Amino acid sequence: MKQEAAAKDRFGEKTSTFEAYSKGSYDSLIEFTSIMEKGQKVLRTEGELYLYYPDANELIRLTGAALRQSLLGSDISYEDMTGEKDTLRDYDVTLGGTKMINGKECYELHLVAKTRKVAYPKQLIYVDTETFVVMKGEYSTSSDRVLKEIEVLSTMKVGERTIPNETKIVDTLKRNTSTIMKINSIEIDIPLNDDLFSIDSLTW
């Protein structure tokens, strides 16, 4: 999948491009292709996250609070970029009815974490009743302080699937910032070698 992230703040706008690979619920690899970040990689396996900087030939393992650091000054954290996808394992979910979001009927879902290991103890998400795409979300602390907001601005069809094409992310702890994530091209259900998601792959 080829994507770009455009981060905007009071100093202006910065766009980064990258390729992302994902397999199963946990494994993901991101490799930046934009000039300033070219060759930088982010690898996530179950319970582990690593950064690789080619200029310094340096490998860094991120843990704890470091996972919540901003990715290249955007509104996205390293956890957001490579977060695990097994939501039902980590959250209790209740249905709050339906609500219209941007002209689409959506299920209103309230998620409360079962464990302290997740980035957001509470989530309020709105899922399209037809496509099951998460159209809007608020991600909060256990005391209901909203930390991050997302909104899907457009979707695209890939085979039989509908996926978000353009998404706006806002880190509410920052002032006057937002980040737009856009998919430029994507392939689904293609074979990926397990070696792609190994530490050795970061130095290729």
What's the number of domains the chain is made of?
A: 1
Q: Which range is least confidently modeled, 1-5, 160-164, 168-172?
A: 1-5
CA distance 180 to 22: 20
Structure confidence at residue 91 (pLDDT): 94
Query: What was the pLDDT predicted at 123?
Result: 96
Q: Residue 84: is its pLDDT beyond 60?
A: no
Comparing 11-25, 49-63, 78-92, 116-130, which segment has the lowest mean pLDDT?
78-92
Q: What is the mean pLDDT of residues 6-31?
A: 83
pTM here is 0.83
Q: What is the CATH number of the domain that holds 128?
A: 2.50.20.10
Question: For residue 142, what are the domain limits?
Answer: 2-203
Strands (E), the chain: 2-9, 12-23, 27-32, 41-45, 48-53, 58-62, 91-101, 104-113, 122-128, 134-140, 146-158, 161-171, 178-185
Q: Which residues contact 143 (CB under 8 A, 6 or more apart)?
A: none
Coil/strand/helix, residue 121: coil
Instruction: List pLDDT tens digits, range 123-132.
Output: 999 999 999 9
Among 125-134, 157-166, 182-191, name the most confident range. Answer: 125-134
